[in-house]
Amino acid sequence: MKLLNSIKGLWLMLFSTKIFHPEDVFKGKRVAVIGAADSAFEKENGDYIDSFDVIVRVNKAPHTWTIDKAKFIGSRTDIWLHNFFENTDSGGGGPLDIELIKKMNINYLVNPLNYFEAYRRTFNFYRKYNHSINVYHFPLKFSKIRDRKFGKKIKPTIGFTALYSALNSECSELYITGFTFWKTPYVKGYRDHVLDLEDNKKHFKKQGIHDADLEYELFKTELNNTSCKVVKMDDKLREILNNQ
């Protein structure tokens, strides 16, 4: 049975894996990128977010979405960027629920990394679920340019990749909420075991693959050099940028 699942998974991967080109998908569009920080819930911006052409969410966000959250963060998910680790803690993105993808009418399921280990995780997805849903990866050239900014040991988070891809597109408008670069906690229900900021710093240090301060500095650089015509953000992120 395992061998048959592996063979079918490989067949599905060969025919269902695609390349995601953010510069094409986002060009001329109004794009909203929603992160997991508590700042996304400071105002009831749900209808405003749902008015955008493309809504991007990361990792556990679709899985933890509930109807009562819609008034804050909207109800649609058009693009789901996921690290393809299905554990719910230690950096995992939560379950890749096929029925959830169908129910939420998600157009793009994206594994935004482009190296052997990332494709192996995509293969494990097809082997596990045996479903022909398309999985997208970012182009190799795009990934190399992004990853070069982090050096050899540090990896970009999925959230940073979502921001980076939008900021480097010619979108007509970009709205960012739920990103504070770990200067405020996660929203409750996302990763409750690291709600405390000090616990989260220890969690990051233990993982040893992400650098929140570096991501913040790189974000500011990309923000200054963005090709997007208009960039808007929630009050908390604007406050963080103004204070520093």
Closest by CA to 125, choosing from 5, 3, 4, 1, is 5
Q: Domain limits of the chain?
A: 2-243
Query: Which pLDDT score, from 0 to 100, does residue 196 have?
Result: 59
Q: What is the mean pLDDT of residues 213-217?
A: 94
Query: Which pLDDT score, from 0 to 100, does residue 93 have?
Result: 80
Which residues, in sequence order, are CB contacts of 190 under 8 Å at separation 6+? 36, 60, 61, 64
Closest by CA to 111, choosing from 70, 146, 139, is 139
Q: Given a cut of 90, is residue 71 above it in pLDDT?
A: yes
The residue that leads in pLDDT, 207 or 24, is 24
Query: Which pLDDT score, from 0 to 100, does residue 204 have?
Result: 60
Q: What percent of the chain has pLDDT over 70?
A: 90
**Per-residue pLDDT reduced to its tens digit, 26-55:** 999 999 999 989 999 999 999 999 999 999
Q: Given a cut of 90, is residue 242 above it in pLDDT?
A: yes
Is residue 193 within 8 A of residue 51, CB to CB? The reply is no
Q: Given a cut of 60, is residue 195 above it in pLDDT?
A: no
**Per-residue pLDDT reduced to its tens digit, 107-143:** 999 999 888 889 999 999 999 999 999 999 999 999 9
Query: Which pLDDT score, from 0 to 100, does residue 2 have?
Result: 76
**Per-residue pLDDT reduced to its tens digit, 153-182:** 888 999 999 999 999 999 999 999 999 998
Query: Which pLDDT score, from 0 to 100, does residue 199 have?
Result: 62
Give the least confident one: 99-103, 214-218, 224-228: 99-103
2-243: CATH topology is sialyltransferase cstii, chain A (3.90.1480)
Which residues, in sequence order, are CB contacts of 120 under 8 Å at separation 6+? none
